Structures are given as C-alpha cells and as structure tokens.
Amino acid sequence: MEEPNRRTLLKGGLLSIAGMVGLPSLARAVQDATTPYKRPKLRITDIRTAEVRVHGYQVHVRIYTDQGVVGQGESTDAATGNVPLINSFSRMLIGQDPLNIEAAFERIRTSGIFAGAQSGQYVTALTAVEIALWDLAGKALGLPVYQLLGGKVRERVRVYCDSGAREMIPGDERSKARIREIQDMGFTAAKMDIDDALDPARFDRVNWTASNGEIDHMVAKVAFTRELYPKHFDLAVDMHGRYDAGTGKRVAKEVEPFKLMWLEEPVPAENIDAMRDIRASTSTPICCGENVYMRWGFREILEKRAADIIMPDFQKCGGLLEARKIADMAHAYYVPVAPHAVTSPIGMMATAHVCAAIPNFLVQEWHWIDSPELWRNWVKEGEIIQKGYIALPERPGIGVEMNDDGARKAQVPGTPWFEPRRG
C-alpha cells in the first residue's frame, strides 16, 4: 500500500470533510485545482471623462477594453485639473492589461514623482482611474469589488448624514426640521458644521482666532443640536481646518460634555503636530484626514498619535486598494476609519465596498441631502441608502451603473460627456 504523504493526507482530508458536510462543489474545486486558471485576457482601448458639479466638482472616468467591458470611477473635491492629468495617464494604460491594478497604479504614481504625485490633484486623478480599474476587474472576473479586496466582514455599511448647507441655529425652525428629516430618513448618526466666517462676533476677517463670542456661538449650536437628537444618536462636529491651535484646544475642551462621535479638523491639515497637541489636550475624539493622501500622508498622523479616528476620502486618497492599505495601517494603531465622502452614488458604493472589507470601519459619510433628485436618479439602481445603511450589491464590480440622463443634469457646461479623446 502507498505510504500516505502530506499531500495525499491533505487532499483526502479536505475531500472527506467536503463530503461529510455535503459540499460536492468544494470537493470538485479541490480536485480541479491542478488545472491552471484561465484568466480573462483584456486590453485597455480608451479612457474617457465627464465633469459634473454637485457638492463641489467631480470627474467621472470610464475605461474601455477590447472585450467590451467598461469600468467606471470618480474623483471628487481635489478634482480640478484632473481631466488633462487623466489624459496624460492614458499612454501608460492603453494597450495594458487592466487586471494588473497595482502595476498600473505604481506606473502612474512613480512616473509623476517630479510632477506632484505625492498628493493633491495628481493623486486624485490617479484615484479616479484606480477605482475604474477595480470596477472593470470585478466585471471581468464576475465578482463584487469587496470580494477582490479580501471579502466582507459585514453585510451592510453604516452611513452618517451630513446636515448639508443648512446651519444649525439654536431655536431656528428650519434647523429643527433638518434634524427631524435626518432622523426620519433612518440615520443613526449625523455631522454638523460650527465654523462660521460671517459670525458677527468675529473681530477680524482674515485671522481665525475665535473670540469668546464665537466660541459661545459654536458651543450653543452643538448644545441645541445634541439636545434634539436621541441620546444614542451619534453626532460629529466639523471645524473645516480653519482655526488656530489655541481655538482648537478651547473648543475641543468646551464640547467635552456632549460626548461627540468626533471633532473634525479643528486646525488645518498641514501641521500634524498641532493636531496631535489638541488630541492630547482633550477627551473629545479628534478626527482628520480628508485632505491627506496615500499611505505616506497617513503614516505621520498615525505615528504621531494625532487622531482618534482617520477620515481618508476614497475618491481622493489614492483609490480603493490604497484606502484598504491606509485602513490596515490604522488598524495596527487601533484607530478606526470613517471615510469622508461627498461623492455620487458611484463613489459612495465604491467606498462602501472597502468599508465592508476592513475590520476597523466606523461609519461612512453621505453629503447629498441638499440634492435629493440628483442623488436618486444618478444610477440605474436608484436609492442605495436604506434606513442609514448601504447594503452591498452582489453584482460584479462596484455594482451600480450611471444613469446618464440623470447624472448629466449636473454636467459642467461646455465639457465633454465621455466622448472619445481627440488625438
């Protein structure tokens, strides 16, 4: 009789386990594992763009292939100037295999080392391309993007509602109506703004040292809003990275009794030490990162313990795999991730695929409460947020497709709409 070796034992063991639990397809997969996998062969043939303006300016990208599969991606916020950048990337993409996403990312990133590839618009343009490649890969392989990013650790992704343009003014009926509206929509968390360039208590229009009057107004807004939401409804507060270090510390201290989900960007993004000093001075959780790019940007925040929560924008920071890498790095520091997102339903769903795959996900932003018609008609699938959560689609790729008639209502006048590139 043949001596059992490690391989036959392993194979026999797997087969018998598969048989015991009634999984003939698993047994067959193990059996067939010696046959090389027939990977789809595709080549990129074209890259086209469209520009829209909703909550800020966005660039949408479509990457075409010789097999008819098309991937879609999106960049937001720092998207100004993305179209010529994306056109310049096309020489590094056309003719290439779109399934080697990391290779494409590194080719474009490293070719721009002297052209601004460390942050800002260059990375945002690369982000739109990267997301389109993930959508394409999912469609070519017949799998949702989350599956390609490691599979899901949760079935649905919790979303918080940004209060939109409506300011929270103590006692104001329109503010109360917005707070009711957010709860009626089923959200379990929201964010409000407290920075106010037009506050009458400001003594100087340039310097952002808040006066006592301004700080009193900020605290009153938080107190009013906190009071109207239920006790276990989470509230985040944004200062938009405008104020100086002393103001940041004072506000963080004064809002401690309200047990905020976080205080966002009390100081600008550039000086991580200033953010760290505020975090060290308060029990209010500090969140930052919407203006930070790639692993190297977040490395400093994490190493300096500058944030309790990081908020990379997945339509800016380098893309979906880059977001996964940032999140994994944060996980090593026990720091949760709450993605900044002011993006269309396509970007929201792309973001949700990553959020479904990372253990340290906290909550994802939604910022389109002021554009309900555009929001509902942007993709063929309609509304993607149900009672404050996004359920992950089982369709290949990102799982939502643009409804051009709906999205085109936000087209920037005079710009192309996915028309073939000239030249």
Which residue ranges make up the site for Mg ion (CB under 5 A)?
238, 264
Token pair for 104: 């494409």
How far, in Å, CA of 373 to CA of 376, rounded? 5
In whole angstroms, how close is the CB of 139 to Mg ion at the nearest point?
33
Q: Are 304 and 273 in contact (CB under 8 A)?
A: yes
In whole angstroms, how close is the CB of 203 to Mg ion at the nearest point?
25
Identify which of residues 48 and 340 has a Cβ nearer to Mg ion in the complex. 340
CA of residue 315 relative to chain centroid, distance: 6
Beta bridge partners of 57: 53
In whole angstroms, how close is the CB of 84 to Mg ion at the nearest point?
27
Identify which of residues 77 and 238 has a Cβ nearer to Mg ion in the complex. 238
Beta bridge partners of 309: 287
In whole angstroms, how close is the CB of 237 to Mg ion at the nearest point?
10
Beta bridge partners of 239: none
- The three-point CA angle 29-33-38 to 5° equals 100
- Spell out the residues 6+ positions from residue 180 whose beta carbon is closer than 8 angstroms to its own: none
In the bound complex, which residue of the shown chain has the CB atom lying closest to Mg ion?
238
In whole angstroms, how close is the CB of 340 to Mg ion at the nearest point?
6
Identify which of residues 82 and 291 has a Cβ nearer to Mg ion in the complex. 291
Identify which of residues 264 and 308 has a Cβ nearer to Mg ion in the complex. 264
In whole angstroms, how close is the CB of 193 to Mg ion at the nearest point?
8
- Spell out the residues 6+ positions from residue 42 whose beta carbon is closer than 8 angstroms to its own: 65, 66, 67, 69, 97, 98, 99, 136, 140
Identify which of residues 51 and 264 has a Cβ nearer to Mg ion in the complex. 264
How far, in Å, CA of 37 to CA of 303, rounded? 41
**Integer-rounded Cα radius of gyration of the chain:** 24
Identify which of residues 135 and 313 has a Cβ nearer to Mg ion in the complex. 313
Token pair for 346: 């396509």
